[in-house]
Amino acid sequence: MELTILTFLPTAAAAVIMVLPERLEQRARWVALAGSLATLVLSIVLFFQFDHGASGFQFTERRKWVDIGSFNLQYGLGVDGLSLPLVVLTTFLTVASTLVSFSITMRPRLYFAMLMLLSTSVLGVFMSLDFILFFLFWELELFPMFLLISIWGSGRKEYSATKFVLYTIAGSAFMLVGILVLAFSANTFDIEVLGRSNFVDTIIPLRWVFLFLFIGFAVKLPIVPLHTWLPDAHSDAPTAVSVMLAGVLLKMGGYGIIRIGVTILPGVADDYGIWFAAIGAISILYGAFVTLRQTDLKRLIAYSSVSHMGLVLLGIGALGKTSMIGATYQMLAHGVITGLLFVMVGLMYERTHTREIARLGGLARQMPLITAGMVFAGFASLGLPALPGFIAEVTVFLGSFQKYEWAVLMGIFGVVLSAGYILWTLQRTVFGPVRAEWDSVTDQNTWWEHSVVLGLVAAIILLGVYPALMMDVIGPAFDPIVARLGS
């Protein structure tokens, strides 16, 4: 029951928001904040109640849903060491997104309701134990995202929103085929049961099934060359949506590859591992090279995300316990770090109304606090040691080195390139001669801005200096997978 409450608490908040009378519509943000905070607290409580040493799902709940012959669908939720950290990340970033949206006054009821719905759909994806339920949550996320980008976005927002939806749907079409083939040949939609089943080639070979599933997830991650929706979606989305998009939506891709692809078809994953490593390494480098060319701050961070997500795929491809823990940790690290980066850029944009790097410069004088946050986030993003990006990076590299030396040696060049694009960006935006143009702008100055920045900074430091907190939870989740891979 706890997980159902957790999943639908944001929806309940959305419902309350939608029935607010018009004269109270500016209160919508408070309802959203209350709802998201309650969800966060609940997820943290569950995190500490969770049996950290154990593998397998906990807090599971299953209810019959559709039962027609062999077509058995259930409403099933559960968390294990892989999903629980991602759940906490989602609830945490939902609070952050709500806070950075506090200045939104245009149609606030719809806005905050959609933000809450988005949270529910992502939580649902991470906790579903049933294939169809998983797919429904996966698709549900498109609806709030489309509205949030196309109504509250900027620039070519309709184009970007449509591109985002079409890309995902094209991927999900493949994924659905893969899901149905697996479910029908195993006669169950239960992800936990599927994870213990052995499959043989049917009319569609398993390699194809895996590929279909992978395409759906790879679009989301994203990998090169399925990534071009991401810069567009980010640059035209409002700040909070960028935070959610980079922070948790991309992780649905990585989560899916591990939970559905690797867990259910470990043998095939092993065959494809070398391709994952190659695509991962290419994504790291390609993303970083193109990042160096960007002139728009949000597109720049978006491309850097492509690079950072390549690391996730590399870690998964090596299929070792260490490398997959590293990949999972990278998802958490990237979530909080890129979340903070987008928050800082958002604060800057709200004040200067530009994301054009060439127009910025010298902001350290006018915005010392925003600059401090930006520099911190930048160094976290380039993998400064004792911050989580570094821990994840090194764990993936160490875990993958034995198997795919060449891919790791390609990937570590990303370390220099990321230092290049981050520091060059800092030099051109916050450092350098002070510009009189921005003399009248304010620094970070509201309580919600202070709290969201401080909260993210604290989370980044916590994950950086105390990795065992999450690693000890993540680790056991991979034991069954590694055991299946070994056999």
Partner 1 sequence: MPFLAAEPITTLVPSISEGILWAIGASPFAAFVVIALSYRWFPKIAGYLAILGVGAAMVLAYVTLFNVIDADGGIAQYTHEWFRAGSLVVNLGVRVDGLTAIMLVAVTTVSFLVQVYSTGYMAGDPGIGRYFAYMCLFTTAMLGLVLADNLFMLFIFWELVGLSSYLLIGFWYHRPAAAAAAKKAFIVTRVGDLGLLAAILLIWTRTPTHTFDIATIQQVAANHQVAQWVITWFALGVLAGAIGKSAQFPLHVWLPDAMEGPTPVSALIHAATMVVAGVYLVARFFPVFEASPDARQVVAWVGAITAIMAACIALVQTDFKRVLAYSTISQLGYMMLALGAFGYAAAIFHLFTNAFFKALLFLGSGSVNHSTNTFDMRKMGGLRKAMPITFWTFVIASLSLAGIFPLAGFWSKDEILLDAWRDNRALWAAAFAGAFLTAFYMFRAIFLTFFGDYKGGEPVDHHDPENHFHGDPAHPHESPWSMAGPLLVLAVPAVAVGWFAYRDAFADFVNGALPAVEESGSSFEWGIAISSTIVALAGIGLAYAVYYKEWVTSKSLREGFAPLTILFENKFYLDRLYEDFFVRTVLQRGWNRLLELNDKYVVDGIVNGTGQLGRELSQRLRIVQNGQLQTYGLGFAAGVIILVLAVFTANPL
471 counts as binding partner 1 under rule CB under 8 A: yes
Q: Is the dihedral of CA 377, 382, 384, 390 positive or negative?
A: positive
468 counts as binding partner 1 under rule CB under 8 A: yes
Neighbours of 166 (CB within 10 A): 12
- Site stretch for partner 1 (CB under 8 A), options 172-180, 334-342, 362-370, 437-445: 362-370
- Site stretch for partner 1 (CB under 8 A), options 50-58, 106-114, 272-280, 396-404: 396-404
Report long-range pairs for 367-372 (Cβ below 8 Å, ≥24 apart). 367/430, 367/438, 367/441, 367/442, 367/443, 367/444, 368/443, 369/443, 369/444, 369/453, 370/344, 370/430, 370/443, 370/444, 371/430
What CA–CA distance (Å, rounded) separates 72 from 325?
33
Q: Give backbone dihedrals phi and psi of 285, rounded to 5 degrees, phi first.
A: -75, -45
The nearer residue to partner 1, 192 or 443, going by C-beta atoms, is: 443
- Site stretch for partner 1 (CB under 8 A), options 3-11, 89-97, 335-343, 380-388: 380-388
The nearer residue to partner 1, 125 or 206, going by C-beta atoms, is: 206
Minimum Å distance from CB 137 to partner 1? 26
Given candidates 320, 335, 339, 388, which one binds partner 1 under the rule CB under 8 A? 320
Contact code string over 226-265 relative to partner 1, x by CB under 8 A: -xxx------------------------------------
Given candidates 177, 394, 457, 462, which one binds partner 1 under the rule CB under 8 A? 394
What CA–CA distance (Å, rounded) separates 465 from 223?
29
Give the interface size with partner 1 as a residue count (CB under 8 A): 61
427 counts as binding partner 1 under rule CB under 8 A: yes
DSSP state of 68: E
The nearer residue to partner 1, 40 or 219, going by C-beta atoms, is: 219
278 counts as binding partner 1 under rule CB under 8 A: no
Given candidates 268, 395, 407, 481, which one binds partner 1 under the rule CB under 8 A? 395
- Site stretch for partner 1 (CB under 8 A), options 63-71, 85-93, 108-116, 361-369: 361-369
Token pair 């027609």: residue: 68
What CA–CA distance (Å, rounded) separates 303 from 77?
34
What CA–CA distance (Å, rounded) separates 35 from 341?
24
Neighbours of 390 (CB within 10 A): 19
Q: How far is CA 249 from CA 32, 107, 260, 332, 387, in A?
A: 19, 24, 16, 12, 22
486 counts as binding partner 1 under rule CB under 8 A: no
Given candidates 413, 441, 457, 462, which one binds partner 1 under the rule CB under 8 A? 413
| Interacting residues of 250 by C-beta distance below 8 A, sequence separation 6+ | 220, 221, 222, 230, 305, 309, 331, 334
- Site stretch for partner 1 (CB under 8 A), options 85-93, 257-265, 336-344, 422-430: 422-430
Q: Which two tokens stand for residue 418?
A: 């990321």
Minimum Å distance from CB 123 to partner 1? 25
- Positions that interact with partner 1 (CB under 8 A): 163, 166-167, 203, 225, 227-229, 286, 289-290, 292-293, 320-323, 325-326, 329, 362, 364-365, 379, 384-386, 390-391, 394-395, 397-399, 401-402, 408-409, 412-413, 415-416, 419-420, 423-424, 426-427, 430-434, 466-468, 471-472, 474-475, 478
